[in-house]
A and B are shown apart, each in its own frame.
Chain A
Amino acid sequence: MEHAVIFIPIIPLFSALFLICFGKKLGEPLAGWIATIAVGASFVASLITWIGVLGSHGIDRTFIQHLFNWLPVGSFQVQMAFQADPLSVTMALFVSGVSALIHLYSIEYMHGDKDFPKFFIYLNLFVASMLILVLGANLLITFLGWEGVGVCSYFLISFWFERPKAATAGKKAMIVNRIADVGFLMAMFLAFQSIGSLNYSNLISSAPHISHTTLSAIVVLAFVGAMGKSAQFPLFGWLADAMEGPTPVSALIHAATMVTAGVFLMVRLSPLLALAPGAAHFITIIGIITAFVAAAAGTSQNDIKKVLAYSTVSQLGYMFIGVGSGAYVAAIFLMVTHAFYKALLFLSAGSVIHGMNDEQDLKAMGALRALMPMTALAFFVGWMAIAGVPPFAGFFSKGDVLLGAYQQNIFIWLAGVITAGLTSYYMGREFCLAFLGKRRWEEKPKVKKSARSSHAVKEVHPHDPGFKMLGPILLLACLAVIGGLLNLPFASSLKVLEHWLAPSLGVAPAPLHAASSAVQWVLAVVDAIVALGGGYIAFAIWSKKSKHPELEPVFLQNAWYIDATGDTVIAKSGTKLAEISADVIEPVVIDGAVVGIVNIAKFVGVGLHRIASGFVRREALIIAGGTVTLLLAVGIRGGW
């Protein structure tokens, strides 16, 4: 049964290859259906693998399928091998499951787009890369998927590349990820140098034997890679810009694939991380900064998708708080539930954008509740789930993370709770602006951009979408409600996810001050009150009026100017350096060296060409003289 693991990434990969060859001929909607079925089949393969893994116990639950020797270079041996263990199977299940729903949704959302088949090729490749990433049995295979995900995100973010902003956003995603990838690469180099292998099993078994400094360095460097892919402070700008892609892409990047890769990598390396407390603290601090900074930025965005983008960044920050404080299960738990409700929110937002003829400005929406009741309901469930209102999924998963933080450091917990309040507030603001209040879209009639879709309609008639879009939304809404069942905190036997994942994870050092069950109840109540309070404040402020400039400061709209600072400090100085190179180094130093060598050769040549007189006898004399000289030299050296 475990042998099905190979099919999980292969099916979408082959489907992508098939669509590359025949996608244009199949056209719409057949290409979309094939892609959807492929990812669905991949989900079924994940289920079969899961059942297979369930058949064994404890440490035997790690199954490695060797395919072939990929890179045999002396002592550097890399196998093409896939690993099915509780962690990778969990990832594969929710990645393929959520992606299948997003594929189905895309068939309707991308209806009428002239590059319909191409879109599904990219989606399939994206999912295949992500599955390779989570199923790889060594760091290099994970890196293969890592880069595949990176390049697919570039294709998809700049899918509508005629828009200059989309093209720029794609490039930015690629470049920021590339910068962070240096960290991942160096972590691999260091791991190979100190351990001699890139296999996870070897890394984990040798971790206790290598020096503490090296271990911390490996973990921190891998985290630098994760900072790019999982959009941590200060490398999160690209994720907000990635909203230029079609909405299903945003859902895919934010919920199922790509951004969860960094969290996955750190959890995969958790046996190493558990031995490097300094590195873990660093991760926690970056996590809390990211969570707060992004949540604050999310309170002032006016684009329906940008709010969600910053909310993803903030939620990823929470996941890293979990990773850093040793609550690895909580991080994965939050990742899975976040996949449910963030996919739900993005797909609902896509439904709104679709219904509003490509309008994304929250200030130009309002009162959609009556016209799009199902979407409004779904978005409401998403809001409740992400805010952490009991009994929705987010309450339990975020609660676990905050508990982990509390046991490490109360200040981190406090910052986390404040951020949770902000989360509930900005999602409430978004909900109120979009679905409550007055109809604002009739104030300024717009005849705008939907040039790409063939069914260009001038007037706006918001409506709920068809079943291909609504089905996934409703299914995800159910999951967002009941997702908490995966790991209920009430009794040890209800912590299903924790028992299931335990063989794959490292054992973090015991918390400094373990919380008693009474304290845990208090924390849970505080979480719930903060979530409800944040939501109520948002409702009170935003449901009547849509303009509160004092609550949307410019520096938050620009996300604390972090991107602008990076622009000024790095991009501008880089440009300056390039100009200096072009004006000074290139003409003077490099050209000077080249021309200098040419001149030397020319000088020597002009000097020597006199010898070649063309007179046979003179040249014969030179040859004879040369021979005699040579013989004499040999004779003298030989002591003759």
Chain B
Amino acid sequence: MTVSVSWYLILGAILFTIGVVGLLVRRNVLIMLMCIELMLNASNLTFVSFARQHQDVGGQADVFFVLVVAAAEVVVGLAIIVSIFRKRLGATADDLSSMKG
């Protein structure tokens, strides 16, 4: 049994779904951030799989962009979380609603 491209795509889809569900159900901000990372990497996996399937390097090149964005996002996101921790005791997302419209 060979491992075809669709297996990788299915794995990517599962990882992405876990990320989405995690983001929606967990309240800890750190965990939510990790879920976002999971979604980003799931899409990276999908990119690479398609690149392999179509013999096109473009997809692999995109991954580098996503990695850079993810890194930047982690930097900003963690900085925000740290500053929230300094002001409050916990980091529960539902306690933070000062951006209410």
Q: Which of A's residues lie within 8 Å of B, judged by CB?
A: 609-617, 620-621, 624
* B24 pairs with A614, CB closer than 8 A: no
Contacts of B25 in A (CB 8 A): 617
B63 to chain A, nearest CB (A): 21
Q: Could you mark each residue 25-36 of chain B with 1 if its beta carbon is under 8 Å from any beta carbon of chain A, else 0?
A: 101010010000
* A615 pairs with B94, CB closer than 8 A: yes
Contacts of B94 in A (CB 8 A): 615, 617
Q: Which residue of A lies closest to B35 (CB)?
A: A620
What's the Cα separation between A612 and B101 when bound, in Å? 5
Sample 13 A-B pairs with CB under 8 A, ordered by A number.
A610-B101, A612-B99, A612-B100, A614-B98, A614-B100, A615-B94, A615-B96, A616-B93, A616-B96, A617-B23, A617-B25, A620-B23, A624-B24
* A611 pairs with B101, CB closer than 8 A: yes
* B97 pairs with A617, CB closer than 8 A: no
What's the Cα separation between A141 and B24 when bound, in Å? 74
* A617 pairs with B96, CB closer than 8 A: no
* A617 pairs with B27, CB closer than 8 A: yes
* A617 pairs with B101, CB closer than 8 A: no
Contacts of A621 in B (CB 8 A): 24
Query: Does B70 sit within 8 A of A, measured CB to CB?
Result: no
Which residues, 14 to 69 on B, are CB-close (under 8 Å) to A?
20, 23-25, 27, 29, 32
Q: Which residue of A lies closest to B23 (CB)?
A: A620
What's the Cα separation between A245 and B100 when bound, in Å? 70
Contacts of B96 in A (CB 8 A): 614-616
Other than A614-B98, A617-B25, A617-B94, give 10 A-B pairs with Cβ distance below 8 A: A610-B101, A611-B101, A612-B100, A612-B101, A614-B96, A614-B101, A617-B27, A620-B23, A621-B24, A624-B24
* A616 pairs with B98, CB closer than 8 A: no
Contacts of B29 in A (CB 8 A): 616
* A615 pairs with B24, CB closer than 8 A: no
Which residues, 73 to 97 on B, are CB-close (under 8 Å) to A?
93-94, 96-97
- Inter-chain contact count A-B, CB under 8 Å? 35
Q: Which of B's residues lie within 8 Å of A, judged by CB?
A: 20, 23-25, 27, 29, 32, 93-94, 96-101
A617 to chain B, nearest CB (A): 6
What's the Cα separation between A624 and B25 when bound, in Å? 13
* A609 pairs with B101, CB closer than 8 A: yes
A616 to chain B, nearest CB (A): 5
Contacts of B97 in A (CB 8 A): 613-615
* B23 pairs with A614, CB closer than 8 A: no
B77 to chain A, nearest CB (A): 11
Contacts of B98 in A (CB 8 A): 614
What's the Cα separation between A615 and B98 when bound, in Å? 9
Contacts of A609 in B (CB 8 A): 101
What's the Cα separation between A613 and B100 when bound, in Å? 5
Contacts of B23 in A (CB 8 A): 617, 620
Q: Which residue of B lies closest to A605 (CB)?
A: B101
What's the Cα separation between A609 and B101 when bound, in Å? 6
What's the Cα separation between A495 and B98 when bound, in Å? 97
What's the Cα separation between A617 and B92 when bound, in Å? 11
A365 to chain B, nearest CB (A): 84
Given A624-B20, A624-B24: A617 and B99 within 8 A (CB)? Answer: no
* A617 pairs with B20, CB closer than 8 A: no
Q: Which residue of B lies closest to A621 (CB)?
A: B24
A613 to chain B, nearest CB (A): 6
B31 to chain A, nearest CB (A): 11
What's the Cα separation between A616 and B99 when bound, in Å? 9
Q: Which residue of B lies closest to A610 (CB)?
A: B101
Q: Which residue of A lies closest to B98 (CB)?
A: A614
A601 to chain B, nearest CB (A): 15
What's the Cα separation between A621 and B29 when bound, in Å? 15
Contacts of A620 in B (CB 8 A): 23-24
User: Which residue from A610, A611, A613, A617 sits with its C-beta under 8 Å from B24?
Assistant: A617
Q: Which residue of B lies closest to A624 (CB)?
A: B20
A632 to chain B, nearest CB (A): 16
What's the Cα separation between A316 and B24 when bound, in Å? 90
Contacts of A611 in B (CB 8 A): 101
What's the Cα separation between A609 and B32 when bound, in Å? 25
A623 to chain B, nearest CB (A): 10
Contacts of A624 in B (CB 8 A): 20, 24
What's the Cα separation between A612 and B100 when bound, in Å? 6
Q: Which residue of B lies closest to A608 (CB)?
A: B101
B53 to chain A, nearest CB (A): 19
Q: Which residue of A lies closest to B29 (CB)?
A: A616
Residue from B25, B32, B99 having most chain A Cβ neighbours under 10 A: B99
* B93 pairs with A617, CB closer than 8 A: yes
Q: Which residue of B lies closest to A615 (CB)?
A: B97
Q: Which residue of A lies closest to B94 (CB)?
A: A615
B81 to chain A, nearest CB (A): 12
What's the Cα separation between A620 and B23 when bound, in Å? 8
Contacts of A613 in B (CB 8 A): 97, 100-101
B96 to chain A, nearest CB (A): 7
What's the Cα separation between A616 and B97 when bound, in Å? 8
A484 to chain B, nearest CB (A): 90
